[in-house]
Structure 1
Amino acid sequence: MKTSRIKFVSIFLIFAFAFLFGTISLLDQPVESFLGSSSQTTWKAVVSTILSPVKVILIGPLLPFIKFLQQDPDTPPPFFLAGFAFYWTILALVLHYLLSKIKHAW
């Protein structure tokens, strides 16, 4: 089954935003924290430690962008969402390219 780039990127963006908002609301952590803190309950610390590799890939390269935007306390949230969407689109395009190369190699 062949998936178009646009469909793949849109599904990737939907799942990335769902992952981001889900981990923020479920674990009560800011975006830039990757590992569980001592103030969290045990299960939240374990879950955040398990999910940390995914968060490092999805959010890690955006930390300088996040810190730059947080210098102004009144930064509107669409700037953060646009930055995430831009990076994740590039990430999804690279992933789609690599997966298509692997598929054609078999």
Structure 2
Amino acid sequence: MKTSRTKFVVIFLASAFVFQFISNSLLGPEAGLFPVNADWFPGTGSPIAWKSTLATILYPVKFVLIGPLSFLAKDPDPAPPVLVFAFACYWTAMALVLHYLLNKILARIKS
């Protein structure tokens, strides 16, 4: 894997924001990047079978991506840039750790 650190972080951030938007739009009542009613894991208690199944499959990924920062949902009306900035910082740190670990693993495999 010869991807630069910057390119990896940018792709990871874009993918995380797209994943968050699509999963919230499919499983939640309205389309959006962050849920308005602070339901960070939409669809988990849905009576519709496909929504419940999809939410169950996506739950571990969403838990890792947004779980540690779900305390931000307690603020009834946070400024939109605060949420985007907080998640971008968290996901950047996660992407840097993943890039480092993947490079170490691939270097061991090659040698």
Deviations 1:35-56 (A, max 9, x none): 6114x41100100000001001
2:28, 2:42 within 8 Å by CA — same for their partners in 1?
A: no
- Are 1:79 and 2:86 counterparts? no
- Distance in 2 of aligned mates of 1:34 and 1:44: 9
Length-normalised TM-score, structure 1: 0.86
Aligned residues: 101
- Distance in 1 of aligned mates of 2:44 and 2:77: 28
Identity of aligned residues (%): 52
Give RMSD over aligned pairs: 1.7
Instruction: Tell me which of the two structures has the higher relative contact order, counting C-alpha pairs closer than 8 angstroms and 6 or more residues apart.
Output: 1
Counterpart of 1:50 in structure 2 is 57
- Distance in 1 of aligned mates of 2:6 and 2:16: 15
- Distance in 2 of aligned mates of 1:35 and 1:76: 25
Gaps of 5+ in 2: 30-34
1:97 positional shift: 0.2
1:35, 1:52 within 8 Å by CA — same for their partners in 2?
A: no
Runs of 4+ in 1 over 3 A off after TM superposition: none
Counterpart of 2:18 in structure 1 is 18
